Structure 1
Amino acid sequence: MIDFLKYKTAGIIFSVSLILYGVFAYFNQGGLKYGIDFIGGAQITVSFEKEIDIAILRKAISEQGWQDAVIQSIGKTNKEFIVKLGGATVEGLEDKFRDSVDKATPGNTMVIKNIDWVGAEVGKDMQQNAIMAVLLSLLAILLYLAVRSKFAYAAGAVVALAHDVLVVLVALLLTGEPMTLPVLGSLLAMLGYSVNDTIVIFGRIKDNVGKMKDRSLLDIVNTSINQTLRRTLLTSFATLLSVITFYILGGESLKGFSFVMIVGIIFGTYSSIYIASPVMMFFSKRAGAKSA
């Protein structure tokens, strides 16, 4: 049997260090990057007469000051694209965009098929709604688990979920991946996946407390983690393979979503063992307590 909780202190130190580094990076880099859903901007649909290398299109756009533009190819041929320009303003945008692309693609006629705008105020409202959605999700999970079981279990699960959210935000910050609506959706989906891992372990702990009355809570938790380990790893590995496939083959539109799920699955499995369980034990008054 693996003594997982032997390393709980090291796990907590690692997590706290990672999050503190993320806080430092946040202030050093000026915060997260946001897509047009959250800061406003323009979404431009364009088509070309001939195929074009997306790198040429990206370079032409970045030279006009839109370094963080998101470009997605539509269809199997590189003739039609969706270009998202965060923070872009209405005045003069179409002419500026057309001039920069036409200079980079001589002899390849471009047609601007559509321009959709998201206002800055709407984007700000979306940011606030996104934060509220995550906080309400955590609160709902806390209340549900507190009703279904003791507060110690609810606290352990919610602290682990908050940890997972912070780790994902640190990953987004360090990689420069922008926060978009698909990324937010992936973050909420990741919360559901992560809490499921924790509930499986906690369910086994509650069962074993009644069966192992002569053993300490520390031993019971370790035993329970080992008993559920195979199921946890197999489920996580299978899901991880699917999400990695999306990340590699899904194109630009799925990269943010897949990236969050990859980080969330890895750290969700980790936090179920090294965050949720120690926190549950802490709130159970003492490591040897038999209450569950």
Structure 2
Amino acid sequence: MCLMVLNWRPDHEWPLLLVANRDEFRERPTHPMHWWPGADRDLLAGKDLKAGGTWLAIDQNGRFALLTNIRPGYIGKTGSRSRGELPIRFLNEHLSIEAFHRDVAEYLPEYGGFNLVLGDGERLFWFSSNHPDGQWLDAGIHTLSNDALNTPWPKTRKASRQMAEHTERFEQGLIDDLDILTDRQAADDSQLPDTGVPLEWERQLSAQTITGERYGTRCRTWVRMDRRGFVGVKEIELDASGGIRQDRDFSWNRR
């Protein structure tokens, strides 16, 4: 993913509400969100058919991992291992968040720049290539794009306001009516961050929903969990203009 906002309220009836956009080159082959074969229907994720990994994965226990890349300091740099393997490893290896964090921290130079948010149903943790120690997330609204957690870019500040405004309807499952991460408007040049890409790219990437024939927002994923064990996931595939091509709904009760 390349833009995420979540509302984390551990003591609330709906502890986790999350929306995330995946931005990618449109020619990169992708399988949409599905239950992965051979995983005993325990791993729900889309699949990058080029490298074999994913950007967001969740299992039937409500454990999940969400990945974004990092632009500042990593433009043009790649690692010997795919970042997309990290969400899959977290779920398949059944390690605690602490143990998985320690394991990945030993091999950070082997990956390109990344952010990773991990959830185990009770806690949320974030760490990144630039902030390897990471942090546990306090209750509240948090955002993530292609820099550190809660970096105040125009589209992340807007995402926080959107989540606050639409939280009640999100709890009710009225996803089709919610304007969260849907804005296609680029930020004003005076507000653009400097992440090392050309100005024209910086403008395009500043929109919440990125449009364009070559690169853009390929899908949007909604996740909501309640205290009784319900998990609801909806993935929306988007076309080059930001319109909806197809959507998929999944729901279950945590084991």
For the criterion TM > 0.5, the same-fold answer is no
Q: Which has the higher helix share?
A: 1
Larger Rg: 1
Q: Which has the higher strand share?
A: 2
The structure with higher relative contact order (CA 8 Å, sep 6+) is 1
Q: TM-score scaled to structure 2, two decimals? A: 0.29
